[in-house]
């Protein structure tokens, strides 16, 4: 044995490297323990770079899309990412993604938006009725137990929507702020005077509901409290309207997303993809065509590349589907459309939409969502998480689903309107909720700290333009309506709660419609404040009206005992019937004279506004049921 060891010690490093090139990650790490010669050879950068270059999709190894050019990685970083990616691939093949490690952060405010960035940063927008802020954590510090944010700044309004993109100039974030004073703020994170700070690059008053950020283009759905999809070139300060076309019910609500797919702008709606020519300096966005699709309830874009097909992951009434839009090789228009069923919705559920909160990883190869009624919590309604590998080619066989849940008492409650993001290459999932509970889950187990910094540090960019300003480090008091509460035994609202109700001076039939919200026997006065799960929130998230919802009058249907509420929703009126179930259509008509004979129980006489996102009712129902059961112990 001694002579064999001496022989191995005498082998040249080139021969040892050739041996290592024929082995997989586990064998190389085992070989490292043979002797000092192999220990030195297996730490050679060329071994790990070779593994990165030759990794094939058939093994399940998926490297981060944000990875630096391999030549810029040092040997330790190259080994760490190969080891972690290889271990994650084995766990996917074993269908076991139960978290190995978890880091928990507890915020004082409800989490409105969240993003993992480049395996190194976690951005979170959070707020309550008094303050709103944006925070960033350095993950390498969090993994070592340091929970203080790397940077933090306060905002003049609550974040309703946001989009983030890593650009050549740095990390760019578009924040769509609250409905009382809508605006979009373009901010970035920079190193300044030895520390990290958020800086505002520009802002656009009146626009809100951000649905796209790609390069210079910002896509918004609301302007001046009306649903008007439009594009903003935030660098050139130019605005382009998207032609409205036909006034159809499904087009009156805000689109699901707006996507730049060169040379087109694609507006993703409930049952169609609308294509527009990319706006230019000498003209706006020109309508090209509409591609009809099966119903789209939720959608996520998969690793959108300029010259590649547009791949959309969709939750529909059938389950989870993959929609693909390709350029027609003969005609100029991209009319080749196909869809593949990836996961069938369980049929035994009472809910019509058991899948919700769809999210896709940055590589476009893995995705996940929240589900109820089928999984480790059989027999209960408590939600769990589902992940799936997305096939690169169409197949008749559905990929296997991997289910897991965060079931420890100190984990963020999945029923509390969660927000999710995950790094599908490194095996990290982040969950936050309306209680400010936040946790980072590691599905692999190897030290994730070694894989931080695989992307360039975009906060080290040159200084911003002279117009860039530091965001405030002190709280900005918000003038928001407080969440109304019911005192025990009382059902009467404070007048300030309803002071904005019934301000349109409508010519109503006073024998049917009433505006006395205090003494008129109307019990849902506290459900129109745009808080999570209330009726105004429902009009926004389920029906596509992300504008200020203002009740104007209410009436009772004697035949059904239902209550109908007449609402102002931006530039339209809605009639919402309050009952115990959903989703169901609501009456809809434009501003102007009221339809003749408008009354409860006969709203079918006016045009119906369909529910665009039925899974919202599932999330709302789970939140309501679980909140009650949580008080007496989780079931």
Q: What φ, ψ does residue 407 adopt, rounded to 5°? A: -105, 10
Euclidean distance between CA atoms 296 and 271, whole angstroms = 6
**Same domain, residue pair 22 and 42:** yes
* Structural domain harbouring 556: 495-612
Query: How far are the Cα atoms of 207, 216, 250, 479 from residue 568, in angstroms, in the given order?
Result: 19, 34, 18, 22
User: Is residue 481 situated within a structural domain?
Assistant: no
pLDDT at residue 246 in the model: 66
Token couple for 341: 């069923």
**Same domain, residue pair 153 and 289:** yes
Tell which residue, 84, 79, 82, 81, has the closest CA to residue 43: 79
Burial label for 444, CB within 10 Å (0-12, 13-18, 19+), is buried
Token couple for 425: 């290459």
**Same domain, residue pair 308 and 328:** yes
**Same domain, residue pair 117 and 237:** yes
User: Is residue 484 situated within a structural domain?
Assistant: no
**Same domain, residue pair 433 and 567:** no
Whether the predicted pLDDT of 635 surpasses 60 = no
With beta carbons less than 8 A apart as the criterion, state whether 549 and 528 touch. Answer: yes
**Same domain, residue pair 58 and 100:** no
Token couple for 149: 């944010």
Residue where one domain finishes, among candidates 58, 93, 128: 93
CATH number at residue 119: 2.130.10.10
Q: Which residue has the higher pLDDT, 489 or 561?
A: 561
User: Is residue 480 situated within a structural domain?
Assistant: no
Question: Where residue 377 falls among pLDDT bands split at 50, 70, 90?
Answer: very low
**Same domain, residue pair 273 and 379:** yes
User: Is residue 444 situated within a structural domain?
Assistant: yes
Residue where one domain finishes, among candidates 470, 486, 513: 470
Euclidean distance between CA atoms 92 and 100, whole angstroms = 14
**Same domain, residue pair 188 and 328:** yes
Q: Mean pLDDT throughout 588-617?
A: 79
Sign, CA dihedral 615-208-220-300, equals negative
Q: Mean pLDDT throughout 508-524?
A: 81
**Same domain, residue pair 396 and 510:** no
Tell which residue, 441, 546, 446, 527, has the closest CA to residue 485: 527
User: Is residue 165 situated within a structural domain?
Assistant: yes
Whether the predicted pLDDT of 298 surpasses 80 = yes
**Same domain, residue pair 110 and 88:** no
Q: What is the pTM of this model?
A: 0.91
pLDDT at residue 634 in the model: 39
Kind plus residue range of the DSSP H or E element containing 630: helix 615-631
Burial label for 275, CB within 10 Å (0-12, 13-18, 19+), is buried
- Give all strands (DSSP E) within 8-51, no chain letters: none
Residue where one domain finishes, among candidates 77, 93, 109: 93
SS3 state at 593: coil
Euclidean distance between CA atoms 310 and 303, whole angstroms = 9
Token couple for 106: 């507890």
Euclidean distance between CA atoms 509 and 492, whole angstroms = 24
Euclidean distance between CA atoms 498 and 349, whole angstroms = 38
Burial label for 371, CB within 10 Å (0-12, 13-18, 19+), is buried
User: Is residue 620 situated within a structural domain?
Assistant: no
Burial label for 23, CB within 10 Å (0-12, 13-18, 19+), is middle
What share of the chain has pLDDT > 90, as a percent?
41
Tell which residue, 367, 437, 448, 347, has the closest CA to residue 99: 448
Query: How far are the Cα atoms of 513, 554, 577 from residue 518, in angstroms, in the given order?
Result: 14, 12, 20
**Each residue of 115-138: pLDDT tens digit?**
999 999 999 999 988 899 999 999
Whether the predicted pLDDT of 427 surpasses 90 = yes
User: Is residue 634 situated within a structural domain?
Assistant: no
Whether the predicted pLDDT of 110 surpasses 90 = yes
With beta carbons less than 8 A apart as the criterion, state whether 132 and 479 touch. Answer: no
User: Is residue 587 situated within a structural domain?
Assistant: yes
Q: For the chain, percent helix, then strand, then coil, each to nearest 5? A: 20, 35, 45
pLDDT at residue 633 in the model: 45
**Same domain, residue pair 103 and 80:** no
Other CB atoms within a 10 A radius of the CB of residue 37 amount to: 17
Per the structure, how many domains does the chain have?
A: 3
Would you tell me the crossing angle of helices 13-21 and 45-54 to the nearest 10 degrees?
Answer: 30
**Same domain, residue pair 210 and 76:** no
Lowest mean pLDDT among 122-131, 417-426, 578-587: 578-587
């Amino acid at each position: 044995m001694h002579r064999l060891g001496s022989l191995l010690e005498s082998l040249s490093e080139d021969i040892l490297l050739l041996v290592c090139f024929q082995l997989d990650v586990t064998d190389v790490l085992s070989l490292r323990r043979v002797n000092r010669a192999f220990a030195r050879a297996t730490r050679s950068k060329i071994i790990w770079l070779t593994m990165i270059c030759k990794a094939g999709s058939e093994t399940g190894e998926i490297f981060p899309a944000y990875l630096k050019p391999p030549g810029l990685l040092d040997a330790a970083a190259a080994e760490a990412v190969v080891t972690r990616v290889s271990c994650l691939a084995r766990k996917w093949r074993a269908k076991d993604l139960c978290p190995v490690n978890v880091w928990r952060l507890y915020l004082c405010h409800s989490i409105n938006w969240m993003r993992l960035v480049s395996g190194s940063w976690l951005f979170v927008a959070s707020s309550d009725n008094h303050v709103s802020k944006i925070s960033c954590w350095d993950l390498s510090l969090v993994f070592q137990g340091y929970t203080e944010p790397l940077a933090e700044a306060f905002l003049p309004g609550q974040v309703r929507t946001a989009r983030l993109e890593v650009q050549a100039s740095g990390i760019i974030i578009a924040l769509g702020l609250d409905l009382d004073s809508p605006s979009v703020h373009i901010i970035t994170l920079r190193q300044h005077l030895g520390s990290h700070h958020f800086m505002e690059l520009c802002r656009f008053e009146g626009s809100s509901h951000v649905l796209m950020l790609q390069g210079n283009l910002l896509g918004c759905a609301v302007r001046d409290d009306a649903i008007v999809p439009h594009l903003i070139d935030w660098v050139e300060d130019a605005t382009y309207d998207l032609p409205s076309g036909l006034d159809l019910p499904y087009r009156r609500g805000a689109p699901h997303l707006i996507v730049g797919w060169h040379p087109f702008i694609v507006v993703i709606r409930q049952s169609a993809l609308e294509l527009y020519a990319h706006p230019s300096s000498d003209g706006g966005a020109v309508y090209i065509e509409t591609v009809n699709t099966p119903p789209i309830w939720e959608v996520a874009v998969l690793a959108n590349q300029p010259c590649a097909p547009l791949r959309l992951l969709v939750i529909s009434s059938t389950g989870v589907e993959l929609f693909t839009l390709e350029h027609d090789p003969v005609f100029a228009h991209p009319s080749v459309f196909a869809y593949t069923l990836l996961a069938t919705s369980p049929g035994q559920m009472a809910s019509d939409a058991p899948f919700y909160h769809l999210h896709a990883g940055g590589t476009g190869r893995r995705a996940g969502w929240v589900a109820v009624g089928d999984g480790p919590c059989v027999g209960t309604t408590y939600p769990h998480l589902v992940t799936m590998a997305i096939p690169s080619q169409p197949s008749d066989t559905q990929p296997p689903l991997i289910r897991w849940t965060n079931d420890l008492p100190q984990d963020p409650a999945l029923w509390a309107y969660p927000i999710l993001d995950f790094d599908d290459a490194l095996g990290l999932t982040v969950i936050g909720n309306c209680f400010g509970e936040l946790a980072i889950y590691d599905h692999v187990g190897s030290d994730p700290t070694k894989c931080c910094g695989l992307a360039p540090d975009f906060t080290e960019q040159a200084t911003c333009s002279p117009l860039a300003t530091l965001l405030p480090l002190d709280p900005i008091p918000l003038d928001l309506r407080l969440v109304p509460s019911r005192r025990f035994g009382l059902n009467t609202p404070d007048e300030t709660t309803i002071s904005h109700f019934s301000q349109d001076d409508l010519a109503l039939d006073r024998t049917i419609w009433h505006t006395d919200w205090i003494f008129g026997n109307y019990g849902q006065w506290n459900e129109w404040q745009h808080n999570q799960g209330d009726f105004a929130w429902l009009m926004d998230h389920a029906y596509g009206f992300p504008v200020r919802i203002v009740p104007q009058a209410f009436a009772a249907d004697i035949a059904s005992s239902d209550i109908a509420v007449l609402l102002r929703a931006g530039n339209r009126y809605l009639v919402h019937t309050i009952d115990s179930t959903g989703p169901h259509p609501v009456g809809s008509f434009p501003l102007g004279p009221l339809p003749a004979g408008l009354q409860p129980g006969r709203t079918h006489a006016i045009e119906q506004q369909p529910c665009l996102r039925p899974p919202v009712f599932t999330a709302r129902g789970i939140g309501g049921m679980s909140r009650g059961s949580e008080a007496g112990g989780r079931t």
